[in-house]
Amino acid sequence: MTQQLGLFNHFTHKANLKQTRYGWLRLTPAYSVHLVEDILDDALSGDAIVLDPFCGTGTTALVCAERGIPCTTTDINPFLLWLTATKTQSYSTKDLTDFMSASEKVIDSVTHNTVNEIWTPPIHQLEKWWDHETLHTLGNIMHVIHDMKDTYSSKTLDILKIAFCRVLIIHSSASFNHQSMSFKKHTNRSIFDKAVDNIKITWEAAVESIYDAAHTEIRTQPGVHLCDAKQLSALLPHNHYTHVITSPPYPNRMSYIRELRPYMYWLGYLKDGREAGELDWQAIGGTWGIATSNTGKWSPPTTRPIPYAQFPEILGGIATKSDILSRYVHKYFYDMVDHISELLVVTKSGGSINYIVGNSKFYDIIIPTEEVFAALFKASGFVDINIKPIRKRTSKKELYEYIVSARKV
Ligand SMILES: C[S@@+](CC[C@H](N)C(=O)[O-])C[C@H]1O[C@@H](n2cnc3c(N)ncnc32)[C@H](O)[C@@H]1O
Confidence bin at 190 (pLDDT 50/70/90): low
- The answer to whether the CB of 245 is under 6 A from ligand 1 is no
Q: How far apart are CA 386 and CA 188, in angstroms?
A: 53
Instruction: Tell whether the model's pLDDT for residue 91 goes beyond 60.
Output: yes
Q: 228 and 299 share a domain?
A: yes
Q: How far apart are CA 119 and CA 173, in angstroms?
A: 20
Last residue of some domain: 214, 235, 261?
214
- The answer to whether the CB of 280 is under 6 A from ligand 1 is no
Q: 281 and 395 share a domain?
A: yes
Confidence bin at 2 (pLDDT 50/70/90): very low
Q: Mean pLDDT score of the chain, rounded to an integer?
A: 90
User: Any idea which of 41-45, 261-265, 309-313, 370-374 has the lowest mean pLDDT?
Assistant: 41-45
Q: How far apart are CA 140 and CA 195, in angstroms?
A: 13
Number of domain units in the chain: 2
Q: 347 and 269 share a domain?
A: yes
- The answer to whether the CB of 54 is under 6 A from ligand 1 is yes
Q: 152 and 251 share a domain?
A: no
Last residue of some domain: 214, 241, 267?
214
Q: Which tens digits make up the pLDDT trace of 5-34?
A: 444 445 555 555 555 899 999 887 678 888
Residue 286: closest CA among 87, 54, 36 = 54
The CA-to-CA distance between both ends of the chain, in Å, stands at 32
What 3-state class would DSSP assign to 166? helix
Q: 355 and 297 share a domain?
A: yes
Alpha helices (runs of H) in 48-113, residue ranges in sequence order? 59-67, 78-87, 93-112
Q: 396 and 327 share a domain?
A: yes
Residue 76: closest CA among 44, 107, 49, 54 = 54
- Using the mean position of ligand 1's atoms as its centre, give its distance from the Cα of residue 62 in Å: 15
| Backbone torsions φ then ψ of 83, nearest 5 degrees | -60, -45
Q: Is the Cα dihedral 76, 78, 83, 87 positive or negative?
A: positive
Q: 174 and 241 share a domain?
A: no
Last residue of some domain: 154, 186, 214?
214
Confidence bin at 302 (pLDDT 50/70/90): confident
360-362 and 365-367 strand pairing: antiparallel
| Backbone torsions φ then ψ of 23, nearest 5 degrees | -90, 15
pTM summary value: 0.92
- Segments forming the whole domain that contains residue 137: 93-214
| Number of neighbours of residue 397 by Cβ within 10 angstroms | 9
Q: 224 and 156 share a domain?
A: no
- The answer to whether the CB of 359 is under 6 A from ligand 1 is no
